[in-house]
Amino acid sequence: MDQQPFSSADLERRRVASRRLGWLIGAVALLFYVVGLFIKR
Amino acid sequence: MSSVTTHPAEHPAEYHPGGMLRWLTTTNHKDIGTMYMTFSLIMFFVGGLMILAVRAELFQPGLQLMKPEFFNQLIGVHALVMIFAALMPAATGFANWMIPLMIGAPDMALPRLNNWGFWLLPPAAILLTLPFTLALFGVGDGAIATGWTFYAPLSVQGGMGVDFAILAVHILGISSIMGSINIIVTIFNMRAPGMTMMKLPLFAWGWLITAFLLIATLPVLAGAVTMLLTDRHFGTHFFDAGGGGDPILFQHLFWFFGHPEVYILLLPVWGLIPHVLSTFSRKPTYGYKAQVYSFIAIGLLSVVVWAHHFFTAGLPVPALIYFMFSTMAISLPLAVLFFCWIATMWKGAMTFETPMLFAVGFIVLFGIAGLTGLILADVAADAQYHHSYFVVAHFHYALFAGGIMGVMTGVYYWLPKWTGHMYNETLGKLHFWLTVVSFNLTFIPQFFLGLAGMPRRIPDYALQFAEFNAISTVGAFILGVSQLLFAWNVWMCVRGGQKATARVWEGSEGLEWELPSPPPHHSWEVQPQVR
């Protein structure tokens, strides 16, 4: 197993991507909740 | 290339307060995992005490210890506590501890969200149980008495405990969605170089599917209980037939969440079992890809089968047939998993340390849950068994033998990695045998009670059910007391004991075993490369 230190830049890039995806998933969950309340049977 | 280890002033992760402040402010995945596990263990005993009171009442016919209203409250809160405050946090604790270690990440991707997700849990647990205490002081009429399913119209008419439970479920749902977001983005974005999705440990795969199921279904539960709240207090009639609403709509909405919830509780366990079987059989996991595709298939099927929980509510015949066959279809990917688990052990150099005992016990007992589930999935048979003790026995084989024994498998397997100490093996094995024997003593009689027609959720029963109920209660008390051995073993292991090596087990494979036991504060300061 080759090993090298994590670079700050790489970690920051991964965290930014995670935050973006996190907000997107959170928004989808909120959308399910809000839209669901207005669906008529 | 620079390292992430920098001066504390430049790097907030170097801030290590002591005492309670450490636990309140921590963003370290291992600390948060420990908090989830501790919370889960405490709530496991809280939920267990509630059901022991119920079993004591059912020891013999007639009302002995409590009023029927209190009996109903204990049953409902027992289920809510065990599902939302014991099993789910245990699985999230595993995820926090193990996913970064397994995929070579320095921490979860969103550490502050992680902290927030955990600290929402204790207030929610207090909200669930507070109405019991308030009732002692004459405030309100106790906790939610509808069962964990909140069925309308009973829940529309219920007392203050329903409002507390609705609020608690909203908070628990938000916490779980936060945890799910964190797990998804960590698995997608924080994997070590070379760890492709098809090299991802099965535990992480199980959790990935679980997280997507939570994101898809928890908002539906939240929506249903919000509508319930507005029915109760704001003059709407979503579920009130008298105002043009439909109580069956609530059942559809609840079980659209409730059935995937079963797999939410079980998929993390199905993910960890192959690791344990492979370690103690000293063989690679059999059928890795087949297991991954089975997880995905079960995840997809789980959201299209919900109505088998209320076959008797008067659904149209085509719907009954569809839900029967789609439910039975889940047994196909599940059978693939069983086959892979057994094939992993086949001709292996097996040894039976406590985690392996629990894993094998899990396979046998969870198999009974699967087989009795097939019986309940049959529309014609379900008309006989619905709302009987047969159902109670079935879902305890799924959620105790499948869920809680699975969690215990994971705790015994990873505890030396977490604490740096070996647990007491003799005590572990004693705990296993007492648990298996007393669990069956508790729940096998309940299958027969159900077949004989005893309905669930009643504090009193006809004389012909007396013997089986007495046996079941004796089993439940042995089961409850034997869990103290588990708590004692864990506590002693945390405090000290024989030092654990990095690899801990002879047959263990994977990144998590490359780190020392216990792992350093920052899990992977040096990035591993997976080939």
Give me B105's structure tokens.
């990440």
Q: What is the pLDDT of residue B15?
A: 63
Q: Which tokens in the block code for residue B242?
A: 């008298």
Q: Quick check: B185 and A29 CB within 8 A? A: no
Tokens 């103690």 appear where? B280
pLDDT on residue B10: 44
B184/A5 CB distance under 8 A: no
Kindly state whether A27 is in contact with chain B, defined as any CB-CB distance less than 8 angstroms: no
List domains and CATH numbers for chain B.
34-513 (1.20.210.10)
Query: How far does CA B4 lie from the centroid of its chain?
Result: 35
Which residue from B113, B226, B246 is facing A37, i.e. has the nearest CB?
Answer: B226
> Closest-CA residue in chain B for A36?
B223
H or E stretch covering B528: strand B526-528
Contact assessment for residue B171 and residue B225, using Cβ atoms and an 8 Å cutoff: no
CB contact under 8 A, A22 and B181: yes
Give the per-residue pLDDT at B6.
Answer: 40
| C-beta separation of B54 from B74 below 8 A | yes
Residue A39, min C-alpha distance to chain B (Å): 11
Non-local (6+) Cβ contacts of B363 within 8 A are B273, B338, B341, B342
d(CA B475, CA B56): 11
Cβ-based contacts of B4 with chain A (< 8 Å): 5-8, 11
Residues with Cβ within 8 Å of residue B104, at least 6 apart in sequence: B191, B192, B195, B511, B524, B527, B528, B530
Give yes or no for A8 touching B (CB within 8 A).
yes
| pLDDT number for residue A41 | 55
Residue A21 is nearest to which of B5, B113, B185, comparing CB atoms?
B185
- How many whole angstroms separate alpha carbon B378 and alpha carbon B321? 9
Per CB-CB distance under 8 Å, the chain A contacts of B3 are 5-7
Smallest Cβ–Cβ distance between B527 and the set A3, A21, A41 belongs to A3
Compare CB distances from A8 to B2, B110, B531 and report the shortest one's residue. Answer: B2
The chain B residues in contact with chain A (CB within 8 A) are 1-6, 106, 109-110, 113, 177, 180-182, 184-186, 188-190, 215-216, 218-220, 222-223, 226-227, 246, 249, 514, 524-531
Q: CA-nearest residue of chain B to A5?
A: B526
Q: How far apart are CA B123 and CA B279, in angstroms?
A: 39
In chain A, which residues have their Cβ closer than 8 Å to the Cβ of B219?
29-30, 32-33, 36
Q: Are B102 and B511 in contact (CB under 8 A)?
A: yes
Q: Which residue of B has its CA nearest to A18?
A: B185
* pLDDT at residue B527, as a whole number: 86
Q: Which of B226, B527, B529 sits opposite A5 (nearest CB)?
A: B527
User: Which residue in chain B has the smallest CA separation from A28?
Assistant: B215
One-letter amino acid for residue B93 of the chain: G
DSSP readout, B424-466? -HHHHHHHHHHHHHHHHHHHHHHHHHHHTTPBSS-S---GGGH
Confirm or reject contact between A38 and chain B (CB < 8 A). no
**Do residues B76 and B84 lie in contact, with contact meaning Cβ atoms separated by under 8 Å?**
no
Structure-block tokens of residue A15 = 């965290």
A vs B: CB pairs below 8 A: 96
**CA B477 to centroid of chain Cα atoms:** 21
Nearest neighbour of B527 by CB, restricted to A4, A22, A28: A4
Chain A positions in Cβ-Cβ contact with residue B14 (cut-off 8 Å): none
Cβ count within 10 A of residue B484: 11
Q: Nearest-CA neighbor of B432 among B486, B380, B382?
A: B486
pLDDT digits (tens, 9 = 90+) for B37-91: 999 999 999 999 999 999 999 999 998 899 999 999 999 999 999 999 999 999 9
Asked if B415 and B490 count as a contact pair (C-beta separation under 8 A), the reply is yes
Across the interface, do A5 and B222 touch by the CB < 8 Å criterion?
no
Question: In A, which residues are within 8 Å of B226 by CB distance?
Answer: 33, 37
Rounded to the nearest 5°, which phi and psi values hold at B455?
A: -75, 155
Please check whether residue B500 is in contact with residue B400, taking contact to mean a CB–CB distance below 8 angstroms: no
- CA of B422, closest CA in chain A: separation in Å? 27
pLDDT value of position B3: 40
Residue B41 near residue B490, CB atoms below 8 Å: yes
Per-residue model confidence (pLDDT) at position B5: 42
Alpha carbon of B404: minimum distance to chain A alpha carbons (Å)? 28
Q: SS3 for B63?
A: coil
Place of tokens 């319930």: B228
Alpha-carbon gap, residue B389 to B54, rounded angstroms: 14
Can you tell me the distance from the alpha carbon of B344 to that of B276, in angstroms, rounded to the nearest whole number? 10
- Of the residues A8, A11, A15, A18, the best mutation for testing chain B's interface (the one with the most B CB atoms within 10 Å of its CB) is A18
Whole-prediction pTM value?
0.93
Tokens of B351: 């040894």
Number of neighbouring beta carbons within 10 Å of residue B200: 21
Tell whether A40 lies on the interface with B, counting CB pairs under 8 A.
no
How far is the C-alpha of B502 from the C-alpha of B138, rounded, in Å?
55
| Contact between A22 and B185 using a beta-carbon 8 Å cutoff | yes
With an 8 Å Cβ cutoff, is A39 touching chain B? no
d(CA B131, CA B109): 37
Which one has a higher pLDDT value, A33 or B366?
B366
Q: Could you tell me if B210 and B267 are in contact, meaning their C-beta atoms sit under 8 angstroms apart?
A: yes
Q: Which of A2, A6, A26 sits opposite B525 (nearest CB)?
A: A6
The ranges of chain B with pLDDT < 70 are 1-15
pLDDT tens digits for range B121-162:
999 999 999 998 888 888 888 899 999 999 999 999 988 999
Report the C-alpha gap between B238 and B235 in whole angstroms: 10
Nearest neighbour of B249 by CB, restricted to A8, A32, A41: A41
pLDDT of residue A4: 72
Report yes or no: B413 and B335 within 8 Å, Cβ to Cβ: no
Interchain proximity A26–B181, CB inside 8 Å: yes
The predicted pLDDT at position B7 comes to 41
Whether B2 and A37 lie within 8 Å, measured CB to CB:
no
Q: What is the pLDDT of residue A40?
A: 62
